[in-house]
């Protein structure tokens, strides 16, 4: 038995040649007892490895590799939750004191808080000369810090160059009385990635492979090797030592618990009591003459579920941020699935009345789905930074940071970097990159080479095309999310490492939104929207010159003149409906009320268009085609849109009522729909969806159009709640254009970047 304890994935940017998921799945197929993902001073890949480990039924060990200032290479792994927090904090210290993309860690940092960590020292070759004495002192200090929690990692490869390291490790073991353990310095899951490993190494060094020469790995052995190979290289005791260390590690990322700030609740009240108090205040404000019975029932249902799921602090945190913005007269509006919530409406986080528009709270929070809510709030784009700095000031940088976005290789960047690494002519590489379209396949690239007078079937070009395909989707570096904030009750760096962003006065965590979602953590999106700036400036101008008191709340609802203007396609400058496609659609759809605007926003999207749903909807709306439903279940889903699916929620519901999906399968479809452009995975649902609809009496054409629409939503589609939030801004900006054109255009022009 063997456990790999030193493994580098491609999240050690431009060092590893395999995704974390590939490493985990390969370790499982080889029968390893465990695998540690130990990327260099980062936890950016561990959540993806964690998800893959659960799917592959293999134990994942969480750790990180550090190259200390004293030229020592150390791997720290987490046997328990406290050790994991210590490693995250150490990464944060190293990253925060250095420029973006770099880190600095010294032995003195290890003395502060690594009391629970296990350490594997990778000694390398023996040191001679003047540096030998300093190396001895550093080594002794390492032993003093970790004691019985320190092992020497022996990494052996059949290339003849490991002999010196082998002897040095045994000498250090005797000198400091340290146990030895086998480890592999793994950089790829399979040896067929060795060419790609050379490429990413050359890219990192900013040299061609030819010039990098001896700086590259001298063998193809940095992969997950089968036990039969390892047993010929290592003594049995060193292999079993790896399993012993793995057995000491009982930590799982599933143990992570995330707590939102608690100081927002006044003394003497619980979080649920305070949330109810704020909600009731909002009820009186929204319905001054008393709320309808069904509204009260909806609010009670929501508050009960929020309490059961323990999301009160999340709502209170978002409420506090929105209240700050309003106190500074910064226009803001929640959107997305949060617009399904009556509680969010009462807290003035959102402005869409979910009762009037009959949205589903379960789209926002569902006990069955067991997925955290996600509230997106748009702020004026020129003043969003005030909100961000308020969050930093209120909670401190040790408790608030922005989620990361993983910048990955796309075709153009892959062509440029791989071409340079292989030493291809730079002008040719640049020409290829510029002439490429994102949808071009390998065949199109071969044609581009022929056009340039290069034989596309030569060995070097064939290798180039293969490597470009292999590196697509590989992470290049971390950037900051457009606005997803993580705010914690305690130090955030004990949950996830924090590092400097490229932008001044910004810090980011090392996980992206997918990682956050996989662990069930909560974030709030602080987003920027230019139309809010434009609307505020227009209203300010009107109030200044007219001595009036116009506000969004006082703009008349359902104004006939506003709709009449939109019906003619006069929508230049109006939010969301000024594109050529929207201008063309307006006279055909002829919006007469607010819900028509909701449909207008959603229908000119890849989902409905690719699903060929636009023309059937218009024909039914104009009385040119009869509105029919296969059964009452389908009518309950598609009744408001005349039997034609327009919104994401409708497609998901159709999978259940028309194709026989279970709620769990429908949720898997929803997740795949959101991620298929990046990860694929929709194809496995096609047969079940189409066959399920055929079995229930739907025709093949309708079933196939539904699936095409699902793929279109993967490009860019709107849920109904999101479309409703944007439709409000469509109406406000259209009203200003119709009734206050001078102020409207001044606000618009003065809000341009």
The pLDDT, as a whole number, for residue 699 is 85
CATH number attached to the domain at 3-255: 3.20.20.140
By the 8 A CB rule, do 75 and 63 touch? yes
Please write the tens of the pLDDT for every residue from 11-60: 999 999 999 999 999 999 999 999 999 999 999 999 999 999 999 999 99
Reported as a pLDDT band with limits 50, 70 and 90, residue 437 is low
Q: Is the CATH number of domain 271-406+478-530 1.25.40.10?
A: no
Per DSSP, the residues of 482-510 read: EEEEEE-SS-GGGTS-EEE-SSTT-EEEE
By the 8 A CB rule, do 42 and 497 touch? yes
Reported as a pLDDT band with limits 50, 70 and 90, residue 370 is low
**Which is nearest to 40 in space by CA: 517, 409, 414, 510?**
510
For residue 580, pLDDT beyond 70: yes
By the 8 A CB rule, do 717 and 648 touch? yes
Reported as a pLDDT band with limits 50, 70 and 90, residue 650 is confident
318: left (phi over 0), alpha (psi -120 to 50) or beta: alpha
For residue 418, pLDDT beyond 80: yes
Compute the Cα dihedral for 15, 20, 26, 27 and give only its sign.
positive
For residue 609, pLDDT beyond 70: yes
Percentage, residues of the chain above pLDDT 70: 95
Mean pLDDT of the chain: 90
| Number of Cβ within a 10 Å radius of residue 743 | 23
Rounded to the nearest 10 degrees, what angle do helices 580-589 and 614-621 cross at?
30
- SS3 label, residue 377: strand
- Range with the poorest average pLDDT among 176-190, 368-382, 586-600: 368-382
Q: Under 8 Å CB-to-CB from 627, ≥6 apart: which residues?
A: 620, 642, 643
Q: Whole-model pTM?
A: 0.87
Q: How far apart are CA 733 and CA 531, in angstroms?
A: 8
φ, ψ at 234 (rounded to 5°): -120, 145
130: left (phi over 0), alpha (psi -120 to 50) or beta: alpha
Mean pLDDT of 654-680: 75
CA angle 140, 146, 148 (to 5 degrees): 105
151 forms bridges with which residues in the sheet? 120
- Range with the poorest average pLDDT among 99-103, 192-196, 502-506, 719-723: 502-506
More confident residue, 564 or 455: 564
The pLDDT, as a whole number, for residue 634 is 85
By the 8 A CB rule, do 602 and 585 touch? no
Question: What is the C-alpha radius of gyration for the chain, rounded to an integer number of angstroms?
Answer: 29
The pLDDT, as a whole number, for residue 718 is 74
For residue 201, pLDDT beyond 90: yes
Six-digit token pair at 360?
Answer: 């589903």
Q: How far apart are CA 515 and CA 57, in angstroms?
A: 19
Mean pLDDT of 588-600: 96
For residue 708, pLDDT beyond 90: no
The pLDDT, as a whole number, for residue 725 is 92
The pLDDT, as a whole number, for residue 160 is 67
Q: How far apart are CA 53 and CA 35, in angstroms?
A: 9
Reported as a pLDDT band with limits 50, 70 and 90, residue 400 is very high
Six-digit token pair at 711?
Answer: 């793929």
By the 8 A CB rule, do 249 and 313 touch? no
For residue 193, pLDDT beyond 60: yes
478 forms bridges with which residues in the sheet? 406
Q: How far apart are CA 338 and CA 321, in angstroms?
A: 15
Please write the tens of the pLDDT for every residue from 113-169: 899 999 999 997 777 766 778 888 888 999 999 999 999 999 998 876 666 677 888
**Which is nearest to 24 in space by CA: 44, 1, 54, 2?**
54
DSSP annotation of 415 reads: H
Q: Under 8 Å CB-to-CB from 273, ≥6 apart: which residues?
A: none
The pLDDT, as a whole number, for residue 459 is 87
CA 124, distance to chain mean position in Å, is 37
Total length of the chain? 753
φ, ψ at 744 (rounded to 5°): -60, -50
Q: How far apart are CA 315 and CA 736, in angstroms?
A: 32
CA distances (Å), origin 118, targets 64, 187, 247, 397: 11, 21, 12, 28
For residue 640, pLDDT beyond 80: yes
More confident residue, 713 or 657: 657
More confident residue, 705 or 130: 705
Mean pLDDT of 696-715: 78
Please write the tens of the pLDDT for every residue from 158-168: 876 666 677 88
The pLDDT, as a whole number, for residue 685 is 86
**Which is nearest to 525 in space by CA: 493, 489, 482?**
482
For residue 349, pLDDT beyond 60: yes
Please write the tens of the pLDDT for every residue from 242-282: 999 999 999 999 999 877 888 999 999 999 999 999 999 99
| Number of Cβ within a 10 Å radius of residue 112 | 12
Beta strands in 349-497 (DSSP E): 375-380, 400-408, 475-487
**Which is nearest to 532 in space by CA: 725, 751, 753?**
751
For residue 678, pLDDT beyond 60: no
């Amino acid at each position: 038995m063997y456990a790999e304890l030193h493994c580098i994935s491609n999240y050690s940017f431009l060092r590893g040649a395999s995704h974390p998921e590939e490493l985990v799945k390969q370790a499982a197929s080889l029968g390893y007892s465990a695998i540690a993902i130990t990327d260099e001073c980062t936890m950016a890949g561990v959540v993806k490895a964690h998800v893959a480990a659960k799917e592959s039924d293999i134990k994942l060990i969480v750790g990180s590799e550090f190259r200390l200032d004293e030229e020592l290479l150390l791997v720290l792994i987490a046997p328990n939750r406290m050790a994991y927090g210590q490693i995250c904090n150490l990464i944060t210290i190293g990253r925060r004191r250095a420029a973006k993309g770099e880190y600095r860690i010294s032995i003195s940092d290890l003395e502060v808080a690594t009391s629970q960590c296990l350490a594997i020292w990778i000694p390398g070759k023996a040191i001679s000369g003047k540096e030998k004495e300093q190396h001895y002192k550093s080594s002794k200090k390492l032993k003093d810090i970790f004691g019985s929690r320190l092992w020497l990692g022996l990494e052996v490869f059949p290339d003849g160059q490991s002999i010196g390291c082998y002897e040095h490790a045994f000498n250090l073991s005797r000198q400091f009385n340290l146990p030895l353990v086998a480890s592999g310095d793994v950089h790829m899951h399979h040896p067929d990635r060795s060419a790609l490993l050379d490429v990413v190494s050359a890219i990192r060094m900013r040299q061609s492979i030819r010039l990098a020469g001896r700086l590259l790995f001298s063998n193809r052995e940095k992969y997950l090797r089968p036990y039969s190979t390892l047993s010929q290289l290592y003594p049995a005791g060193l292999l079993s030592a790896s399993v012993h260390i793995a057995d000491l590690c009982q930590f799982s990322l599933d143990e992570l618990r995330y707590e939102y700030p608690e100081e927002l609740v006044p003394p003497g009240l619980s979080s649920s009591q305070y949330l109810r108090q704020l909600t009731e205040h909002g009820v009186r404000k929204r319905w001054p003459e008393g709320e309808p019975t069904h509204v009260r029932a909806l609010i009670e249902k929501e508050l009960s579920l929020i309490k059961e799921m323990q999301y009160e602090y999340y709502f209170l945190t978002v409420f506090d941020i929105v209240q700050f913005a309003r106190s500074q007269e910064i226009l803001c509006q929640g959107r997305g699935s949060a617009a399904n919530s009556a509680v969010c409406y009462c807290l003035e986080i959102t402005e869409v009345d979910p009762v009037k528009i009959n949205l589903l709270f379960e789209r926002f929070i569902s006990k069955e789905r067991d997925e955290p809510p996600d509230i997106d709030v748009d702020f004026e784009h020129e003043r969003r930074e005030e909100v961000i700095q308020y969050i930093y000031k209120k909670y401190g940088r040790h408790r608030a940071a922005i989620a990361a976005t993983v910048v990955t290789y796309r075709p153009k960047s892959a062509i440029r970097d791989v071409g340079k690494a292989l030493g291809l002519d730079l002008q040719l590489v640049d020409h290829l990159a510029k002439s490429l379209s994102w949808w071009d396949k390998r065949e199109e690239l071969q044609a581009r080479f022929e056009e340039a007078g290069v034989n596309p079937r030569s060995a070097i070009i064939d290798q180039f095309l293969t490597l470009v395909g292999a590196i697509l989707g590989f992470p290049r570096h971390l950037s900051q999310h457009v606005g997803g904030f993580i705010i914690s009750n305690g130090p955030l760096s004990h949950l996830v490492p924090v590092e400097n962003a490229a932008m001044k006065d910004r810090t980011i965590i090392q996980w992206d939104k997918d990682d956050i979602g996989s662990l069930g953590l909560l974030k709030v999106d602080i987003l920027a929207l230019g139309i809010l700036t434009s609307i505020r400036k227009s209203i300010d101008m009107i109030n200044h010159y007219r001595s009036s008191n116009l506000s969004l709340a006082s703009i008349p609802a359902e104004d006939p003149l506003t709709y009449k203007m939109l019906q003619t396609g006069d929508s230049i400058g109006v939010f969301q409906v000024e594109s050529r496609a929207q201008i063309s659609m307006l006279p055909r759809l002829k919006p007469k009320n607010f819900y028509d605007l909701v449909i207008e926003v959603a229908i000119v999207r890849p989902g409905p268009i690719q699903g060929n749903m636009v023309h059937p909807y218009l024909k039914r709306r104009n009385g040119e085609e009869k509105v029919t439903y296969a059964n009452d279940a389908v009518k309950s889903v598609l009744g408001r849109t005349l039997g034609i699916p327009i919104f994401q929620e409708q497609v998901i519901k159709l999978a259940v009522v028309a194709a026989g999906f279970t709620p769990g399968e429908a949720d898997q479809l929803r997740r795949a729909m959101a991620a298929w452009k990046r990860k694929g995975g929709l194809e496995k649902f096609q047969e079940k969806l189409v066959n399920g609809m055929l079995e229930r009496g739907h025709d093949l054409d309708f079933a196939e159009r539904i699936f095409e629409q699902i793929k279109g939503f993967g490009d860019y589609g709107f849920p109904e709640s999101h479309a409703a939030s944007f439709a409000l801004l469509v109406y406000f900006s259209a009203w200003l254009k119709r009734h206050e054109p001078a102020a409207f255009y001044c606000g618009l022009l003065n809000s341009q970047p």
